[in-house]
Amino acid sequence: MKEVFKDYLNDKIKLERYQLVGIICLIIVFSGIFGWVYEFIFYYFNGGMKEFYLQGGNFLPWINIYAIGAILILISTKKLKKHPILIFLIAMLVTGILEYFSGLAIYKLNNGARYWDYNTEILNFGNIDGFVCLRSVLVFGFSALILMYIMVPFCIYLSKKMSKKTFLIICISLLSIVLLDEFYNLLIARIFDIPRATRIYKYLGFKYV
């Protein structure tokens, strides 16, 4: 693993196409899970540490905007591996723009509905219209360092340790499961008017913010 990390920093790793595909699949899955865990912990504290709240709209612990943000960070900072401060700052900017305009689009397209509202949360300094705040982009900046210096090298390491077939089966299967969950809750459940994950979990007694 140490050798992989060293070669990764020095741009000495040449990946085959199947490795790139698998690594991107894993990043999408892992980053979405990471975002869910972060929000699960944060909203426990935000709610006064009295009870836990679920986040996202899926059955699985995965939030799509974190996966999108991770891919944008990867694209915008892939040549800056030796410059963690630049990665941190660029990630803050990229994810801040993503978060603000995603929140604004949801608000405009859904008659004022909000999937998050920093106006009502703790540590909301630098809050802009409730869609983005300094705390959120700072977290995204630190998350970018985890992505670029832990998650990506680890995925590369896995791609080198596993056989091509095993690696692709695992990566594509994980992503397919996550995307099927997302597809069901975003489209199928709405088109056919059947229960979405949030409705089922609320019926079972789970709480959302």
% pLDDT > 90, the chain: 85
Q: What percent of the chain has pLDDT over 70?
A: 100
Q: Is-contact 197 57, C-beta < 8 A?
A: yes
- How far is the CA of 98 from the CAs of 17, 67, 146, 169, 196, in angstroms? 28, 12, 19, 31, 25
pLDDT of residue 16: 94
DSSP one-letter code for 119: G
- The pLDDT-based confidence of 209 (bands split at 50, 70, 90) is confident
Identify the burial level of 192 via C-beta atoms within 10 angstroms of its C-beta, where 0-12 means exposed, 13-18 middle and 19 or more buried: exposed
* φ/ψ of residue 54, rounded to 5: -85, 155
Paired with 54 in beta bridges are 208
Can you give the residue ranges of every domain in the chain? 2-203
pLDDT at 96 over 80: yes
Predicted pLDDT of residue 11: 82
Residue entry with tokens 């832990």? 150
Rounded alpha-carbon distances, angstroms, from residue 77 to 23, 129, 132, 185: 16, 28, 21, 32
The pLDDT-based confidence of 6 (bands split at 50, 70, 90) is confident
pLDDT in tens, 157-191: 999 999 999 999 999 999 999 999 999 999 999 99
Mean pLDDT across the chain, nearest whole number?
Answer: 94
Tokens of 139: 């977290």
Cα-based angle 155, 148, 33 (whole degrees, multiple of 5): 65
Mean pLDDT of 145-150: 96
User: What number is the average pLDDT over the span 37-41?
Assistant: 96
Encoded tokens for 176: 């397919």
8 A C-beta contact, residue 52 and residue 40? yes
Report pLDDT digits (tens) over 188-208: 999 999 999 999 999 999 998
Confidence of residue 85 (pLDDT cuts 50, 70, 90): very high
Q: Coil, strand or helix: which one is 192?
A: coil
The helix (run of H) or strand (run of E) holding residue 20 is helix 17-46
Q: Which amino acid is at 188?
A: I
Q: Is the pLDDT of residue 2 over 90?
A: no
Chain segment 98-130, per-residue pLDDT in tens: 999 999 999 999 888 888 999 999 999 999 999
CA dist 110 to 37, 103, 136, Å?
Answer: 26, 11, 23
Q: What is the pTM of this model?
A: 0.93
- Report pLDDT for 110: 86
